[in-house]
Copies of this chain bind each other. A is one copy, B any other.
Amino acid sequence: MQKKAIVLLSGGLDSITVLALAKQQGFTCYALSFDYGQKHNAELLAAAKIAADYQVEEHKIIKLGFGSIVGSALTDADIAVPNTLQQGIPVTYVPARNTIFLSFALGWAEVLHLKDIFIGVNAVDYSGYPDCRPEFINAFQNLANLATKAGVEGEHFAIHTPLMTMSKGEIIKQGLALGVDYQQTVSCYSADEHGRACGVCDACRLRKAGFIEADVEDPTRYS
């Protein structure tokens, strides 16, 4: 039987690696992205290109009226994106973001009659985000089984987090081994309309450090 999975695809370095891993594991993939008013819309353009390159079965971009309820540097023009790594929970944290994203993935999974959802959360480099931790993912998996027709009928959802315990450098090495082209990904919180990265925000710093750790050339296009 054909294995099918939904892959949450932001267009960044992590999610393209997850997509490559899901394909390698033999899954027919459905890509899911969100347009939630993020400043870095270049990310969504990257996601669309990646989805096409990886020949996903379908790529859905869900537009959320999300910016209106959140106060975060990622969506709120009044809060500057910080240029230095923060202690604790960063101001770039978007309230309930992964909960909302996984909820939509769950809804689409029900429609597609599939049980496997891949998400590129990582507890190592982004430990400040509560919704990137294994205990959060386990709780969502439990919720999914209780929330759905399929769960009630005894089937089990699996939320796959293949990057959970990898460092950024390990993620990059894993992706390169699978032939991932990281140049087409956008991680920067303030990327320009051509997808060029600022080089100084948190996401850029983590990404840069990852290429150094992996000991490979950084293909990122900087502005």
Contacts and interface: CB of A to CB of B under 8 A. Distances in A.
Interface of A: 60, 62-66, 68-71, 89, 93-100, 103-104, 106-111, 130-131, 133, 135-136, 139-140, 142-144, 146-149, 151-152
Given A62-B69, A68-B60, A100-B103, A139 B148 contact: no
A7 B107 CA distance: 22
Contacts of A130: 146-149, 151-152
21 contacts: A60-B68, A62-B64, A62-B68, A62-B69, A63-B65, A64-B64, A70-B111, A71-B111, A95-B107, A95-B111, A96-B110, A99-B107, A99-B143, A99-B147, A130-B148, A130-B149, A130-B152, A139-B146, A139-B147, A140-B143, A142-B143
A147 B107 contact: no
Identical subunits present: 2
A210 B60 CA distance: 41
A62 B63 CA distance: 11
B111 A69 contact: yes
A103 B131 CA distance: 12
Contacts of A109: 95
B143 A107 contact: no
Given A139-B142, A146-B133, A152 B63 contact: no
Nearest to A112: B69
